[in-house]
Homo-oligomer: A and B are copies of this chain.
Amino acid sequence: FSADYVSLGIREPVYEVIEVRSNGRMSTKKISRRQLLKSSGLRLRDTRSVDPSLWLMNSMPSLLVREQAILVNLGSLRAIAMYERVLIFNYNSPGGKAFLGLLLPRLNPRNINGGPAMPFQLEVVEAALLSRILRLERRLMKIEPRVATLLEVLPNRLTADVLEQLRLSKQALVELGSRAGDLKQMLIDLLDDPHEIRRICIMGRNCTLDRLSDNMECSVPLEKQIAEEEEEEIEMLLENYLQRCESCHGQAERLLNSAREMEDSIAVNLSSRRLEVSRVELLLQVGTFCVAVGALIAGIFGMNLKSYLEMNAWAFWATTGGIVVGAIAGFFLMYSYLKARKILDPQATTAEAWDVHHVS
């Protein structure tokens, strides 16, 4: 047993898998890792990418092509495609179910309707890619109208609820965009590597692939020709799913960018409104301060102490007049001072336009 698994404290696991044969027959099996390695010709470390016990660490989609097997790891689907059969590991996961739901009708001979049947391993790869992309597309179709509504609604309804919905949509888009981007990258890498594609073609055939020149050599000449046609078929298949995946990724990125720009704009908008509120508050505080000074003077004259002004006929009116006029004058003095210092002025900067002109 490898030190890797030892160190994770796992020994000789037994996997429960569903096996689907090329004739559409489906059966549940228990298979130990030792058996699996033997029957598929895989290396120990290869199994890592389909081992459900190492679930968390396998988030990156991959399609590893080995001599006798294709290791499929797409979302929650983990499978090993071999000549004329496929093992599905966590078949109860959404990814596993969606894959089975797409694969089985394809194997049904009645559904072929006319077109030439593709070899089994291609059917598996296509079903796996399709089930993954369909799930991403459905997810996007669900989020898109919501985000569109939010972008429409938001500037006029900055309530906490709507902001929370924007946040949730952004989180969903980050994840969706990242998943679609990973899948897209995997497809691009695969398309860029004719060696891998050729290995898919010769699987289960009496052909060998020369390592250096990448030329196929088959015992039967006809087989070589079929394999070459299949190669083109795979390329077109991958290209098709790549395009769908790119659409999905591009749309998710576009929505996410729109949502981000929206959030930035909202932040500035809120900032500008708060400034306006602050300015009015300031004005009120200036007023309150002036009134408070007046009230202090009034309070002083209200003390039960003798000022010897009590008896003057003019004292009340003079003081009253003084307080009122003083408060109003104080207010306007401070108001004009703040205007002059541009603290209460909405057009704060003058931008005397420094000569930073455009480069034409």
Query: Does A21 belong to the interface (CB within 8 Å)?
Result: no
B residues near A43, Cβ cutoff 8 Å:
115, 236, 240
Query: Does A204 belong to the interface (CB within 8 Å)?
Result: no
What is the bound-complex CA distance between A175 and B295, given in angstroms? Answer: 58
Within 8 Å by CB of A351, from B57, B156, B244, lies B156
Contact A262 B182 (CB under 8 A): no
Query: Does A329 belong to the interface (CB within 8 Å)?
Result: no
Q: Give residues 100-124 of A contacting B (CB, 8 Å).
A: 101-102, 105-106, 111, 113, 115
A146: shortest Cβ distance to chain B, in Å?
8
Contact B265 A163 (CB under 8 A): yes
Nearest CB to that of A164 among chain B residues?
A: B349
How many residues on the A side are at the interface (Cβ–Cβ under 8 A)? 156
Contact B167 A269 (CB under 8 A): yes
Contact B261 A268 (CB under 8 A): no
Contact B289 A289 (CB under 8 A): no
Within 8 Å by CB of A310, from B136, B250, B306, lies B306
Q: Give residues 186-244 of A contacting B (CB, 8 Å).
A: 211, 228, 232, 236-237, 239-240, 243-244
- Copies of this chain, count: 5
B residues near A59, Cβ cutoff 8 Å:
247, 250-251, 254
A107: shortest Cβ distance to chain B, in Å?
10
Given contacts A151-B171, A168-B354, A351-B168, contact A211 B228 (CB under 8 A): yes
A139: shortest Cβ distance to chain B, in Å?
5
Query: Does A40 belong to the interface (CB within 8 Å)?
Result: no
Q: A54-80: contact bitstring with B at CB < 8 Å (1 yes, 0 no)?
A: 001111101010100000000110000
Contact A359 B267 (CB under 8 A): no
Within 8 Å by CB of A270, from B137, B271, B301, B354, lies B271
What is the bound-complex CA distance between A350 and B342, given in angstroms? Answer: 25
Contact A360 B178 (CB under 8 A): no
Interface centre among A95, A167, A175, A239 (most CB of B within 10 A): A167
B residues near A350, Cβ cutoff 8 Å:
156, 161
Query: Does A179 belong to the interface (CB within 8 Å)?
Result: yes
Query: Does A14 belong to the interface (CB within 8 Å)?
Result: no
A180: shortest Cβ distance to chain B, in Å?
9
A264: shortest Cβ distance to chain B, in Å?
6
A42: shortest Cβ distance to chain B, in Å?
10
Q: Give residues 267-309 of A contacting B (CB, 8 Å).
A: 267-282, 284-289, 291-296, 298-309
A339: shortest Cβ distance to chain B, in Å?
12
Contact B94 A57 (CB under 8 A): no
Can you list 5 A-B contacts (CB < 8 A)? A46-B236, A56-B144, A211-B228, A291-B292, A305-B315
